Structure 1
Amino acid sequence: MIMKGKIALEEHFATEEYLGDVKRFFIREGEDVWQRAKGIMCDISGRRLELMDEAGIEKTILSLSSPTIQAILDTKEAVDSAKKVNDYIAEQIVNHRDRFDSFAALPTQDPEAAARELERCVKEYDFKGALINGFCNIGDPDVPVYLDDPRNIPFWEAVESLDVPIYIHPRPVTETVRREVFGDNHFWMETAAWGWHANLGTQILRLISSGIFDRCPKLQIVIGHMGELLPMFLWRITNRCNSHKRDCQADLPINQYFQRNISITTSGNCSTPALMCAMMEMSTERIMFSTDYPYESMKQAADWFDNIPFSDLDKEKMGRTNAAKLFKLDL
């Protein structure tokens, strides 16, 4: 039975300008797959809407696909490109606001500019926050600048003041790390099968241990793919940090931030055991439905979610009301 009214919030698009960034995710499947994917990535309100209807998805929050803005090496270009993308998607959804909202793309290469762009998009376009594709690069593609870098503190303070969530999404690691960890024979695990999640889970722990959630206790972060491997290890992470704190700057036990500051989505991870683990570690209040379209199937995600053997109350929270509350959606 289809649950109507679901909200999905890790749902990607690309523009013609950024198709090159996503080509690597499709081209190994064949040129024909890539040719089909190009149209799907750029579609906003055509086939996407039809699939939403079939899957019982009432509203989608759109986001520019990974890595895009975060991978632009020139800071001024990143600032200009983010504004251009945000203006574009605002125009695309203006006549479909009953079905679409959007996250802002941000130039995290310049934290002050990122804060200004977020404020502009929230106030001018009513965007529901932003999606950041993990670390950024400034000048050097092999040097990552992580979100826990002290230069980002004013940005996080501005986010808390605006009272909007930030979705943090994975991106490919730098080329040096790719060669060292995955080599030339393990592309299969470099991105969505493993590497993205291990890498982003590490970035989230860096953010927590920097103390930013103690400095900004109302800050809200969302991560996808059933929590980027973290719920399964949350007890061990917390326990080891409690007994061997070392240089962790967080004031609270690590797991408490997952009950106060961090929410997760089911995007691209249709595993009932994994969901049960997340529910037991974080509660249903911190879990939201998503599909990871067009990299994953809306139908597969919806069919799984609609038929998980949980109460209608839990499914209503995870499928709709948690997102509506967190993102202040007009439904």
Structure 2
Amino acid sequence: MSGCVRIDVHQHVVPPGRARAIADRAAALGWPVPAWDRRSALAMMDRRSIATGILSYAAPLAAPGDVAGARAAAREVNDFTAEEVKDRPDRFGHFAVLPLPDVEGALAEAVRALDELAADGVMVLSNAEGRYLGDREFEPLWAELEGRGAVVLVHPTAPPGPMVPGLPSPLVDFPSDTARTALHLALAGVPGRFPRLKIILPHAGGFLPYAAHRFAAAARLRPDAEPGDLLADLRRFYFDTAFCAGPASLPSLLAFAAPGHVLYGSDFPMVPEDWCSGFDDDLDAYPHWQDGQLHAVHRANAERLLPRLATP
């Protein structure tokens, strides 16, 4: 691919004041320590034909129970990222991080970020201190974001419980936690009751597309639900291709996702760039694209979600 074409909905930022916290978390997860600065991000984007990257901060903000610390960290991260976007709005956007499970703090920060910082959407983790996103306590947040037709990136995090030694959580546990929270949201009826929400599941939705028809059997556990209805709610999600656009995963993703619901993602710098180059190649070389479908994944689908990035 030549020229900067792609819109990358899954790119991360590591503010200088959070570098130590990110390094400690990476070490605890058995993962390479990421580093970020604007110059290296732009160089990566030029190498990978990315016109614009939507930045987000994909880590817990504070120790469990530290409500004040999480609120302060969310403001710090969002203010830093907004400044980066302000300097280069053509190359960057941002999804503001919210300090869940503190719903009051998350609501306040969502309103501030969307109204004052011109955020392109918000980001939440797949579980908030062990509480999954379909919990009733989070309803006020979904209602506020529904009223705005907001874009919500649900980034995976480690599930409750210890990591299996030798199996880094980002490789093994993150995909399952994505699927867990997606099913939790769907069983709670969130996608159907808040249809203006545009929820992005990274990494092709974890295990969701592959196992969606199995997961739909969960509807049989509720007298008021049908598997077909649950499948319809699961297909309301959007999916990105970060670190997963391989020859085995793409057919499942494309068979399940609704038209227009697959987006490009890089996961830079959380996943080392050389780990992902093959996935970009596989995405471009996939032999079963229909007319215009690859361009839609690279750009057009994201333009519909984020109209300010649409080309004239």
Q: Same fold (TM over 0.5)?
A: yes
Counterpart selection for 2:232 from 256, 263, 271: 256
Report the aligned-residue RMSD: 2.6
| Secondary structure of residue in 2 paired with 1:268 | coil
Match of 1:245 in 2: 221
Task: Map 1:30-179; keep pairs closer than 5 Å.
Answer: 34=33, 37=34, 41-43=35-37, 45-68=38-61, 71-137=63-129, 144-174=130-160, 177-178=161-162
Separation (CA, whole Å) in 1 of partners of 2:21 and 2:88: 27
Equivalent pair of 2:183/2:234 in contact (CA under 8 Å): no
Pair 1:222-2:197 in alignment = no
Equivalent pair of 2:103/2:137 in contact (CA under 8 Å): yes
Match of 1:314 in 2: 293
| Secondary structure of residue in 1 paired with 2:170 | coil
Match of 2:189 in 1: 211
- Give 1:107 deviation, angstroms: 1.3
Separation (CA, whole Å) in 2 of partners of 1:212 and 1:121: 22
Question: Post-superposition, which runs of at least 4 consecutive aligned residues in structure 1 deviate over 4 A?
Answer: 24-31, 247-252
Query: Which amino acid in structure 2 is aligned with residue 68 of structure 1?
Result: L
- Give 1:164 deviation, angstroms: 1.1
Separation (CA, whole Å) in 2 of partners of 1:160 and 1:66: 24
Taking a change above 3 Å as real, the CA distance of residues 252 and 129 of structure 1, as seen in their structure-2 partners, is farther
Separation (CA, whole Å) in 2 of partners of 1:286 and 1:85: 28
| Secondary structure of residue in 1 paired with 2:153 | strand
Counterpart selection for 2:263 from 273, 288, 300: 288
Taking a change above 3 Å as real, the CA distance of residues 81 and 25 of structure 1, as seen in their structure-2 partners, is closer
Query: Which amino acid in structure 2 is aligned with residue 203 of structure 1?
Result: T
Query: Which amino acid in structure 2 is aligned with residue 320 of structure 1?
Result: R
Equivalent pair of 1:163/1:219 in contact (CA under 8 Å): yes
Counterpart selection for 1:267 from 233, 242, 254: 242
Taking a change above 3 Å as real, the CA distance of residues 29 and 203 of structure 1, as seen in their structure-2 partners, is closer
- Give 1:26 deviation, angstroms: 5.0
Match of 1:11 in 2: 11
| Secondary structure of residue in 2 paired with 1:208 | helix
Number of residue-to-residue matches in the alignment: 306
- Give 1:28 deviation, angstroms: 8.4
Query: Which amino acid in structure 2 is aligned with residue 302 of structure 1?
Result: D
Structure 1 unpaired stretches of 5+:
138-143
Greater displacement, 163-172 / 298-307: 298-307
Scaled by the length of structure 1, what TM-score is found? 0.84
Query: Which amino acid in structure 2 is aligned with residue 111 of structure 1?
Result: V
Equivalent pair of 2:260/2:296 in contact (CA under 8 Å): yes
